[in-house]
């Protein structure tokens, strides 16, 4: 496990390793940052998938963000992680140039794509990985095939994204015992996600009840199981561990060490589902302080 | 104060929280010398047929086996690594004891 970077943020030190492992540490009883460790960035609203539960409402009419001319990028600290998404981020025509700029600034870029785009664009994604333009790769999965599993196994830094209440038992079990990493996302009853939920609450009920019960067993069948904050609440993940373990494991509320920026609409917020949004400024620290004060 | 995110990069809008988990049965087998830890894949695996033990080597090298995919370590070898370790245990609803463990540190 090689060390990618080491830095000081506020009153604590951070180490980040080649497999994504991150360690925050100090001798105090609190970890208080000065700038965001992770930023979720929406770079496009364009997507041809039309997923019925997409909380971003992305479509083929969606536009790309102006990602090469936003000054706040110059104020990011080295080894900040960016989770680039959309829409379909790999359809953005300026993606490679943007990633090269981030690499020069020692920013760790991670990208999330849909499984269809992952398969279709595998050579391009392989290029981004081999050039170290991206490190983590999220792949949103709803239907599991042997071809998909084989491709997912090629890169140890791939994390499979599944949505609580959407992924079916039969599909998730196909991924068991394949040495894979999974990120469970909470279900966002937001935009198209609300429409899908209202139409398919019976399906949601079956899928979510199964995962809630299965979770402790499920965890044994993946190399790593991870959660976003919404999934932690919906799945009551805290029931799985002691208070001490929870304190070591829980990486913070939305907006505590993280924030969200929509480069299409030029807005920022604590997370992608926050309705408290403000216009992007040219300084990441200023924006982060506003987000933290909102919390 | 210390917080650790194990084995994943941030690919999502909110903080990612991760666990690395094996069954306690396998963990105990590893401690008893019946399994090896593949430190690259972070999995407990059976001993390969051509595994070479320390007392069987001419130069008395440390006990290890390298198969090209990564180094396989016994529990004792893993403990000897000059890195910090973490460990946690909980019980599943079906009564299985499950163990989360790992090490972190700088290899370079």
Q: Per residue of chain A (295 residues), give pLDDT as tens.
A: 688 999 999 999 999 988 888 889 999 999 999 999 999 999 999 998 878 777 777 888 999 999 999 999 999 999 999 999 989 999 999 999 999 999 999 999 999 999 999 999 999 999 999 999 999 999 999 899 999 999 999 998 999 999 999 999 999 999 998 989 999 999 887 777 788 888 888 999 999 999 999 988 888 788 888 888 889 889 998 887 777 777 777 888 889 999 999 999 999 999 888 889 999 999 999 999 999 998 7
Report yes or no: A268 and A280 within 8 Å, Cβ to Cβ: yes
Half-sphere exposure (Cβ direction) of B6: Cα atoms closer than 13 Å: 25
Best mutation target among B2, B4, B16 (most A Cβ atoms within 10 Å) is B16
Contact partners, residue A53, CB within 8 Å, separation at least 6? A163, A166, A187, A192, A193, A196, A197
| B61 CB within 8 Å of a chain A CB | no
Report yes or no: A208 and B33 within 8 Å, Cβ to Cβ: no
- Using CA atoms, how far apart are residues A187 and A198, in angstroms rounded to an integer? 13
In sequence order, the β-bridge partners of residue A85 are A42
Report yes or no: B95 and B66 within 8 Å, Cβ to Cβ: no
Strand B43-45 and strand A22-25: the pairing is unpaired
User: Which residue among A19, A159, A225 places its CB closest to the CB of B11?
Assistant: A159
How far out from the chain centre does Cα A116 lie?
18
Find the helix or strand (DSSP H, E) in which A141 lies: none
Contacts of A37 in chain B (CB under 8 A): 10
| B20 CB within 8 Å of a chain A CB | yes
DSSP H helices, A189-260, are: 192-199, 201-218, 229-234, 243-249
Beta-strand ranges (E) seen in A74-147 are: 81-85, 108-114, 137-140
Beta-strand ranges (E) seen in chain A are: 3-9, 12-17, 22-25, 38-42, 81-85, 108-114, 137-140, 158-163, 181-185, 224-227, 258-262, 267-269, 278-279
Report yes or no: B19 and B100 within 8 Å, Cβ to Cβ: yes
Interior/surface letters A143-163, b for 16+ CB within 10 angstroms, e for the rest: ebeeebeebbeeebbbbbbbb
Reference A226, options A167, A285, A161, A165; nearest CA is: A161
Measure in Å the smallest separation between the Cα of A241 and chain B Cα atoms. Answer: 6
Confidence band (pLDDT; 50, 70, 90) for B55? very low
| pTM, full prediction | 0.79
Asked if ipTM goes beyond 0.95, one says no
Measure in Å the smallest separation between the Cα of A61 and chain B Cα atoms. Answer: 23
Per-residue DSSP letter, A46: B
Please give the C-alpha separations between residue A24 and each of A28, A79, A183, A257, B13, in angstroms, as whole numbers.
12, 13, 21, 11, 19
Confidence band (pLDDT; 50, 70, 90) for B20? low
| B95 CB within 8 Å of a chain A CB | no
């Amino acid at each position: 496990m090689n060390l990618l970077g080491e830095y000081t943020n506020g009153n604590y030190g951070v180490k980040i390793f080649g497999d994504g492992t991150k360690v925050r540490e100090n001798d105090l009883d609190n970890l208080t940052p000065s700038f965001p460790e992770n930023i979720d960035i929406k770079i496009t609203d364009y997507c041809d998938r039309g997923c019925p539960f997409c909380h971003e409402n992305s479509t083929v009419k969606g536009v790309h963000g102006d990602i090469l001319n936003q000054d706040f990028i110059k104020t990011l600290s080295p080894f900040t992680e960016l989770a680039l998404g959309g829409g379909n981020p790999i359809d953005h025509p300026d993606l490679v140039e943007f990633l090269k700029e981030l690499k020069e600034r020692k920013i760790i870029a991670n990208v999330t794509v849909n499984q269809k785009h992952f398969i279709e664009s595998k050579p391009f994604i392989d290029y981004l990985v081999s050039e170290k333009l991206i490190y983590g790769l999220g792949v949103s999965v709803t239907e599991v095939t042997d071809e998909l599993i084989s491709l997912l196994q090629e890169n140890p830094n791939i994390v499979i994204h599944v949505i609580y209440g959407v992924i079916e038992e039969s599909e998730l079990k196909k991924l068991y015992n394949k040495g894979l990493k999974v990120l469970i996302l909470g279900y966002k009853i937001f935009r198209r996600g609300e429409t899908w939920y209202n139409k398919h609450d019976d399906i949601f009920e079956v899928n979510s009840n199964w995962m809630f019960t299965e979770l402790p067993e499920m965890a044994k069948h993946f190399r790593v199981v991870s959660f976003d904050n919404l999934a932690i609440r919906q799945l009551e993940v805290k029931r799985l561990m002691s208070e001490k373990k929870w304190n070591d494991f829980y990486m913070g509320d939305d907006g505590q060490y993280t924030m969200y920026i929509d480069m299409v609409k030029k807005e920022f917020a604590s997370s992608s589902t926050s309705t408290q949004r403000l216009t992007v400024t040219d300084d990441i620290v200023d924006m982060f302080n506003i987000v933290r004060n909102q919390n | 104060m210390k917080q650790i995110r194990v084995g994943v990069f941030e690919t999502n809008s909110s903080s990612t929280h991760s666990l690395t988990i094996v069954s306690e049965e396998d963990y105990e087998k590893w401690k008893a010398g019946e399994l090896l830890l593949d430190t690259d894949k972070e999995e407990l695996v059976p001993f390969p047929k051509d595994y070479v033990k320390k007392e069987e080597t001419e130069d008395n090298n440390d006990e290890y086996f390298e198969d090209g995919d990564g180094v396989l370590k016994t529990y004792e070898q893993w403990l000897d690594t000059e890195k910090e370790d973490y460990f946690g245990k909980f019980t599943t609803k079906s009564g299985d004891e499950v163990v989360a463990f790992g090490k972190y540190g700088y290899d370079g």
